[in-house]
Amino acid sequence: MNNITDNPKKLLAMQKYISLFVILLFSCTGLFAQNIYDIRNAIDFFESNRMQKGEYRHILTESDIEGSPYFNDEFIKGTIFTYQKIQYNDIPLRYNIYNDEMEFQTPNNQVLAIAAPEIVDKAVLGENTFSNIPYALGNKVKRAYFILLTEGKLSLYARPEVLYKKPKKAAAYSEPEPAKFEKRPDTYYLRLNQQAAVRIESKKDLQNFFTDHQNKMESFIKKNKIKPGKADKMMELVEYYNSL
C-alpha cells in the first residue's frame, strides 16, 4: 500500500481539505462566540459599572408616603444582560416603576441605581424579564424598561405605571390626605422587529399599527374581540401575527 506522502497530488488535496476544515472551524467558532455572553458575577458588576444613588430617595421615601413605587418591594437576585454581551449573575435587583430605574443592593446594603441604563439589554427578576427598549412618545423616541410578555417578529410588552399623588391639606368638608403612590393599570406596547415600540390604547391604534396582513388582522381582531387593555387577548393577537 502506497503512503499518502508518496503521492504529491493526494497530499496537496488532503492539505486543502485540512485548510478548509480549519477555516470553517474558526469561522463557526467566531459565530458561536458572538452569540454567547461573557458571564460574570455580582462583584464584577459592582466594580465595573458606573453607579449612583437614586436621587428620588431624598424626596419620595418619607415614612408617611402610602403605597410603593416598586414593582417588587424586596430585592430579588436577578441577572443583568448588557448590549456588550456581558451577563452578570446573582445581583439583588428591584425595579422602581416611578423613576423607571433598575436598582441594586451592594454587599454593604447600599441601594444604588444603574447610572448608565443604556448599556442594559435586559434584566431578569424571577419570572419577569425587563427589556430596556426604545419606544415612540409623540414625535420622539425614548428608552425605558418594559416587561416582555411574548417575543418574536412582533413582540408584546407591558409598561407598569405608578402615579405619585401629593399630600392634601384638610379642607372644609374633607380630611387631610398623605402623599401616596398609586398603582395604575399596565399599558401595552407592540414592537415590530427592532423598531421603536408603539403604545396600543384603542382598536384604532391596532388598525393603524398593522401595515401588512391588514385584512387578516382586522378580521382576527373582530372575530376574537381583541381588546388593547387585555394582556391575554393581546398575546393571542401577537401569536397569530407571528404565525402568518
pLDDT, tens digit (0-9, with 9 covering 90-100), for 107-119 = 888 888 887 788 8
Distance CA 89, CA 40 (A): 6
pLDDT of residue 167: 82
Pick the closest to residue 64 from 163, 165, 158, 188 (CA basis).
165
Higher pLDDT, 17 or 213: 213
Pair 82, 133 in one domain: yes
Average pLDDT of the chain to the nearest whole number: 81
pLDDT of residue 168: 82
Q: Kindly tell me if the per-residue pLDDT of 30 is higher than 90.
A: no
CB-CB neighbours of 227 under 10 Å:
15
Strand partners of residue 125 = 128
The DSSP line for 65-96 is -BS-SBSSSS-EEEEEEETTSEEEEEEEEEEE
Pair 47, 85 in one domain: yes
Q: Tell me which of 22-36, 100-114, 136-150, 166-180 is least confident.
A: 22-36
Best-predicted range by mean pLDDT among 22-26, 99-103, 105-109? 99-103
Q: What is the pLDDT of residues 138-167, one digit of tens each?
A: 899 999 999 999 999 999 999 999 998 888
Pair 63, 182 in one domain: yes
CB-CB neighbours of 140 under 10 Å:
8
Beta strands in the chain (DSSP E): 38-40, 51-52, 76-82, 86-96, 101-105, 111-114, 120-125, 128-137, 140-150, 154-165, 180-192, 198-200
Please give the average per-residue pLDDT across 161-182, as a whole number: 84
Domain count for the chain: 2
Grid cell in block for residue 198? 408603539
Grid cell in block for residue 120? 442594559
In a domain, 181, yes or no: yes
Distance CA 81, CA 33 (A): 16
In a domain, 12, yes or no: no
- Maximum distance among all Cα pairs of the chain, rounded to whole angstroms: 111
Distance CA 47, CA 68 (A): 29
Domain boundaries, position 219: 201-244
pLDDT of residue 133: 96
Q: Report yes or no: 146 and 138 within 8 Å, Cβ to Cβ.
A: no
Q: Kindly tell me if the per-residue pLDDT of 9 is higher than 50.
A: no
Higher pLDDT, 108 or 94: 94
In a domain, 31, yes or no: no
Pair 128, 182 in one domain: yes
Pair 163, 105 in one domain: yes
Pair 165, 211 in one domain: no
Pairing of strands 86-96, 38-40: parallel
Q: Kindly tell me if the per-residue pLDDT of 12 is higher than 50.
A: no
Pair 222, 121 in one domain: no
Q: Tell me which of 32-36, 91-95, 107-111, 127-131 is least confident.
A: 32-36
Please give the average per-residue pLDDT across 18-31, as a whole number: 38
Q: Report yes or no: 218 and 130 within 8 Å, Cβ to Cβ.
A: no
